[in-house]
Amino acid sequence: MINIKSYTIINPILVGKIGRVYGILGWINLFSLTENKEKIFSYLPWFTLKNKKWKTIQLKNWKKHNNRFIIQINNVIDRSIASTWTNADIFIDQSQLPKLKKNEYYWNDIIKCEVFNVKHQYLGTVINLTSNKYNDTILIKNKIKKNKTIMIPFIIEKIVKNIDIKNKTIIVQWN
């Protein structure tokens, strides 16, 4: 059993999702959204939003199973109780993340940054980041151009010229 101290969530960050029930003993599938999938277990405690209130998820056990994870939550002892957790989002508080070095940032820090090209033209606001086998991509919503979504490869130096987290701006080599 993993012990959890009292904790308050102020700046929630989505790190995972609970999937369908696995077996009859209360195990549940877990989908990690962290870059290193197993890293999600180093960010305890987890939280979920139920009935507009933050609830702490107290993890009893976890294990890797067929290239994914299954978990047991305290006091979840059978399939019917476990099914009440299906599709629950898992959050942590931003304060639980490790401190970064200078010029490092989390993807979460890039969300809501204003994006401009090198000619100082406004392209939009970052709404999300995605990853594929070739590179990461930032998704930008431009409200001026009828909510057009722009996808720009997140390639530092070649395309992404500057990231200023403090002022929430990104400069890109893009038309």
On the question of pLDDT at 6 being above 70, the answer is no
Token reading at 116: 């401009």
For the chain, the domain total comes to 2
What pTM does this model have? Answer: 0.72
What CATH number is given to the structural domain containing 23?
A: 2.40.30.60
Domain that holds residue 56: 12-96
Mean pLDDT for 132-140 is: 89
Q: Is residue 7 part of a domain?
A: no
On the question of pLDDT at 5 being above 70, the answer is no
| Buried/exposed code over 130-167 (b: 16+ C-beta within 10 A; e: otherwise) | eeeeeebbbbbbeeeeeeeebebebeeeeebeebeeee
Instruction: Give the C-alpha separation, 32 to 18, whole Å.
Output: 9
Tell me 8's DSSP state.
-
Mean pLDDT for 135-146 is: 86
Based on the fold, state whether residues 91 and 111 are members of the same structural domain: no
Q: Is residue 102 part of a domain?
A: no
Pairing verdict, β 136-142 and 122-131: antiparallel
The per-residue pLDDT for 2 is 45
Based on the fold, state whether residues 17 and 89 are members of the same structural domain: yes
Mean pLDDT for 119-139 is: 90
The per-residue pLDDT for 9 is 78
Instruction: Give the C-alpha separation, 107 to 12, whole Å.
Output: 14
Q: Is residue 58 part of a domain?
A: yes
Q: Give the chain's radius of gyration (CA, Å).
A: 19
Residue 37's H or E segment, with its range, is none
pLDDT digits over 75-126, tens only? 999 999 999 999 999 999 988 888 888 878 888 889 999 999 999 999 999 9
Give the residue from 73, 96, 119 where a domain finishes.
96
Based on the fold, state whether residues 85 and 112 are members of the same structural domain: no
Phi, psi dihedral angles at 79 (to 5 degrees): -60, -40
